[in-house]
């Protein structure tokens, strides 16, 4: 699982092609997917979230569809909302996007403007959908994650937990503006210094299965 996750999330010059392949897969799957279910969408932290497998352990009223795509920014999410959200007409939507805007050192103003646009479209097109805006996960930029094998430490040089916390405050304000619920599912993920626990991540940015187990358990009240 660790090697598969690293391969899944590493930045690559062919990333646009990879993203389009995943978009095409989702577009095809959407044609036969049930409408009115649960959708979670975002970047790689969503894509590698094994939520569709974890849901099989429960008897949920709705089916969960994962529509995450690696290396997505708020601009990418905004450009592909039909495939990632609207075609499925979800009754419940979980959204976590923008971590890569920070990692890629994109302007905060652009990130928040895009997120505002995303929320505006959701509010207009899905007025009856329960929308949960997820807080960004904490990261760990202090532990050694074998940077010779993983490109993410280079990406993380533009991002800190302080930046993440500040972004959460602004995203929460946007969620409030649009009458969406902002939820923090991070309880149990951090060490005493506030970093993502080294035992729960393979690169400091993305959780391992044990981390996603914690996140999923924190999410349960919103799934039932």
Q: Is residue 140 part of a domain?
A: yes
Does the pLDDT value for residue 223 go beyond 60?
Answer: yes
pTM of the complete model: 0.91
> Does some domain include residue 12?
no
Domain membership flag for residue 3: no
List the domain range (segments joined by +) for residue 96: 36-223
Quick one: average pLDDT of 131-144? 94
193-198's contacts with Cβ under 8 Å and 24+ in sequence apart are: 193/142, 194/138, 194/161, 195/138, 195/139, 195/140, 195/141, 195/142, 195/143, 195/161, 196/137, 196/138, 196/139, 196/140, 197/140, 198/140, 198/143
Distance (Å, whole) CA 121 – CA 168: 20
Distance CA 139, CA 175 (A): 22
Q: How confident is the model at residue 141 (pLDDT cuts 50, 70, 90)?
A: confident
The CATH code of the domain that includes 154 is 3.40.50.1110
Closest to 134 (Cα-Cα) out of 88, 171, 83, 82: 171
Q: What is the pLDDT of residue 59?
A: 87
**Any domain includes 64:** yes
Average pLDDT over residues 16-29: 94
CB 111 within 8 A of CB 98: yes
Residue 111 domain flag:
yes
**50, 212 contact by CB (below 8 A):** yes
Is a pLDDT exceeding 50 seen at residue 3?
Answer: no
Does residue 99 lie within any of the structural domains?
A: yes
145-167 confidence digits (pLDDT tens): 765 554 444 555 678 999 999 99
State residue 12's pLDDT score: 58
- Reported as a single tens digit per residue, the pLDDT across 74-130 is 999 999 999 999 999 999 999 999 999 998 889 999 999 999 999 999 999 999 999
Task: Reply yes or no on whether the pLDDT at 65 is more than 50.
Answer: yes
Kindly state whether residue 2 falls inside one of the protein's structural domains.
Answer: no
State the average pLDDT for the chain: 91
How many domains does the chain contain in total? 1
Torsion sign over Cα 146, 148, 196, 58 = negative
Residue 5, in any domain of the structure:
no
């Amino acid at each position: 699982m660790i090697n598969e996750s690293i391969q899944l999330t590493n930045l690559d010059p062919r990333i646009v092609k990879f993203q389009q392949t995943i978009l095409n897969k989702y577009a095809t799957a959407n044609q036969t997917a049930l409408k009115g279910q649960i959708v979670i969408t975002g970047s790689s932290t969503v894509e590698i979230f094994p939520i569709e497998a974890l849901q099989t352990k429960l008897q949920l009223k709705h089916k969960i569809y994962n529509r995450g795509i690696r290396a997505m920014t708020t601009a990418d999410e905004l450009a592909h909302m039909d495939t990632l959200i609207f075609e499925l007409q979800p009754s419940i939507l979980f959204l976590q996007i923008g971590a890569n805007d920070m990692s890629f050192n994109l302007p905060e103003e652009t990130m928040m403007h895009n997120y505002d646009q995303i929320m505006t479209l959701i509010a207009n097109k899905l007025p009856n959908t329960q929308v949960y805006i997820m807080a960004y996960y904490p990261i760990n930029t202090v532990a050694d994650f074998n940077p010779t094998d993983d490109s993410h430490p280079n990406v993380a040089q533009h991002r800190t937990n302080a930046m993440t916390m500040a972004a959460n405050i602004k995203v929460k304000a946007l969620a409030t503006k649009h009458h969406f619920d902002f939820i923090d599912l991070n309880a149990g993920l951090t060490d005493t210094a506030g970093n993502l626990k080294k035992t729960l991540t393979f690169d400091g940015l993305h959780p391992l299965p044990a981390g996603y187990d914690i996140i999923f358990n924190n999410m349960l009240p919103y799934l039932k």
